[in-house]
Structure formats: C-alpha cells, structure tokens
C-alpha cells in the first residue's frame, strides 16, 4: 500500500503542488480570521484526492490547461466546509489528528468560515462561465445537506437498512467525487459518453471510499485514524459493517450489539466486544467485499478511454481507496 501511495504522489507531484498553491492563493484576499480557520482545516494533512481527481480526469479528456487546478481547489473547499460543519454537529474532538476548529475558534466562527468556503467554491465554479458546472455544484451542495439531515434523523436507529445507508453516503460523499470527475469532463468539453464514464467512475469510487472510511472506525487506532476510535458509533452513526452484522446476527448476538450501540458511554471493552461480534457476523468482510465491487465498477467505467498513464493513475487511486489500510 505504501508503494502505491508513493507512486501516486510521485507521478502527480507537480499537479498536487499547484493544487496547494491554488488553495492558499484563493484565500489571500480575505479576512485574516477566515484564512486562519480555513488554513486550520485545509492544511492539516488532507489527501487532496478530490481536486486531484478533477485534474487527472480533465487531462484524460485532453484538457491540459492549468485552469483545472483552480476549479479543483473548489472541490477541496467544498470538502473542508462539510468537515467544519460535521465536526460541530457531531461534537467531535479530533480531525486529522488535531483539535477540531470549533474547539479553538468557537461554533459561530467555524460555521461562518464553512459557509465562506462553500460560497468561495461556488464563485470559483461560476468563473468557469459554464452553466452546467454551476448546476452540478448547486446540486452537489443540496445533496450533501440533505444527506447530513437524513443521517441526523436516523441517529442511533438500529433499524437503518443498507439501502438507506447507501443513500446517505451517496449524498454525503459519493456526489462530491462524482462532481469532481463530471466537472472535469464539462470544462474539457468531452463527449457525453466520456462525461458519463467519469461520472460513473467518481460515484463508484466515492461509495467505496466511504465504506472503507466507515470500516476504519472499528479496525484502526486513534493515531492512524486521526480521530477517536468509535467516534461514529458514539455519535449514533450506523454504518455498513454494523448494519450487515445486525442483519446476520442471531437474537442473542443482536441483542448484545444493540445494547452496546444504544449506550453512548460504552466502555473500551464493550467496544471490543462489538467489533468481535461484527467480525463473527461477517460485518467487516462483507464491507470489504462490497467496497471491492464498487472499485471494480469504477475502473470498468474508464474502459471507454484508451490505456494511458493518466488512466493508470486513476486506476491507482481506485486501488488506493480500497487498500490504504489492508
């Protein structure tokens, strides 16, 4: 996995460097406090996966202009905005291994900076002069907000189904990956079949990425995860490894799991018991299998493009999304 990550970083070093420049430059004209809070979330070790996807997908469509990195920065601003807002909603403590923004700057400032980043992203996309790009980003922000509300409404609900979970992560995560890839095709003026292919790639990659992220809450430690282990469960978020295990479990195992899930103050030992029951009832293996299926779909979507170094990089990113911990 480290070799794969290093290859992605090495092959895309120039683009990643330009993305960093754009993220910083686009904040300079604004209030110092806005820049300070935005820098806190933007430059704390994010993967830059979403903006890199946009740049690579644009290149895959023959668009070589550096303007792609400007639009790509909007994807990272959108992502950062959702993280700022999510951490307040979830009463989180850590993000990317450091204190969350609202614990340092307060809720009001953090919400407003999140709003600013959303607005800045829309402004950057509007400068593209392409109405379709604006429609994509508008639909994206609507979907992300709806997904957040849906998840909040079903907080701690052990009857949440896998289909409902998929709808939440489609709106909260997959749509941003999908938008990054689709916008690239639009600014490149790619034909419809290639735009659809990139849209499908982004969607399936996003679903798999979130599934693996949700699994991390149960199989990684705090140092690697960058937030408290068990945070999703403590926040009442039921994700695919838990949902599937609950479905497969017998009544005794299910009752024990439900008891732990519904106790917000579960102990370390209780959490370990829950993970063991998830393993016993196929929750972990099932999650990996489902994520693998979505990664295969993502890579298959790119078959409309000829084999190239850029397509290879997009394949590598898909493989990395799945293998970054295993």
Instruction: Provide DSSP, 170-185.
Output: IIIIIHHHHHHHHHHH
pLDDT greater than 90 at residue 92: no
Q: Report residue 291 as tokens.
A: 């994520």
The confidence score (pLDDT) of residue 176 equals: 97
Give the mean model confidence (pLDDT) for residues 79-86: 93
The confidence score (pLDDT) of residue 46 equals: 75
Residue % of the chain over a pLDDT of 90: 76
Contact at 8 Å (CB) between 298 and 208?
Answer: yes
326 band by pLDDT with thresholds 50, 70 and 90? very low
The confidence score (pLDDT) of residue 97 equals: 75
Q: What is the CATH number of domain 2-323?
A: 1.10.600.10
pLDDT greater than 50 at residue 199: yes
The confidence score (pLDDT) of residue 221 equals: 73
pLDDT greater than 70 at residue 214: yes
Mean pLDDT, the chain, whole residue set: 92
Closest CA to 211 of 143, 292, 95: 292
> What are the Cα distances from residue 224, in Å, to 96, 267, 306?
9, 20, 37
Contact at 8 Å (CB) between 117 and 78?
Answer: yes
**What digits encode the pLDDT tens for the residues 103-152?**
989 999 999 999 999 999 999 999 988 999 999 999 999 999 999 899 98
pLDDT greater than 80 at residue 29: no
> What are the Cα distances from residue 22, in Å, to 19, 73, 119, 217, 285?
5, 6, 16, 32, 40
Give the mean model confidence (pLDDT) for residues 22-47: 83
């Amino acid at each position: 996995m480290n070799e794969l990550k290093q290859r992605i970083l090495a092959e895309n070093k120039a683009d990643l460097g330009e993305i960093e420049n754009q993220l910083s430059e686009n904040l300079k004209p604004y209030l110092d406090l806005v820049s300070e809070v935005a820098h806190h979330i933007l430059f704390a070790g994010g993967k830059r996966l979403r903006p890199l996807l946009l740049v690579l997908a644009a290149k895959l469509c023959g668009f070589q202009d550096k303007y792609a990195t400007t639009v790509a920065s909007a994807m990272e601003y959108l992502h950062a905005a959702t993280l700022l807002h999510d951490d307040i909603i979830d009463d989180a403590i850590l993000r990317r291994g450091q204190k969350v923004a609202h614990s340092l700057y307060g809720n009001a400032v953090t919400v407003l900076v999140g709003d600013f980043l959303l607005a800045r992203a829309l402004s950057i996309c509007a400068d593209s002069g392409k109405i379709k790009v604006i429609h994509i980003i508008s639909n994206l922000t609507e979907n992300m907000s709806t997904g957040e509300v849906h998840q909040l409404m079903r907080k701690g609900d052990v009857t949440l189904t896998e289909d409902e979970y998929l709808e939440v992560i489609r709106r909260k995560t997959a749509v941003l990956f999908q938008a990054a890839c689709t916008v690239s095709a639009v600014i490149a003026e790619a034909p419809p079949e290639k735009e659809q292919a990139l849209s499908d790639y982004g969607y399936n990659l996003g679903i798999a990425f979130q599934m693996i992220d949700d699994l991390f809450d149960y199989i990684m430690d705090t140092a690697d995860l960058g937030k408290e282990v068990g945070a999703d469960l403590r926040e009442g978020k039921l994700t695919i490894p838990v949902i599937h295990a609950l479905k497969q479990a017998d009544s005794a195992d299910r009752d024990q799991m439900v008891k732990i899930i519904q106790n917000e103050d579960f102990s370390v030992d209780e959490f370990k018991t829950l993970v063991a029951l998830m393993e016993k009832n196929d929750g972990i293996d099932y999650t990996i299998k489902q994520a693998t299926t979505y990664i295969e779909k993502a890579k298959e979507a790119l078959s409309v493009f000829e084999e190239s170094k850029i397509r290879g990089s997009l394949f590598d990113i898909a493989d990395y999304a799945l293998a970054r911990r295993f």
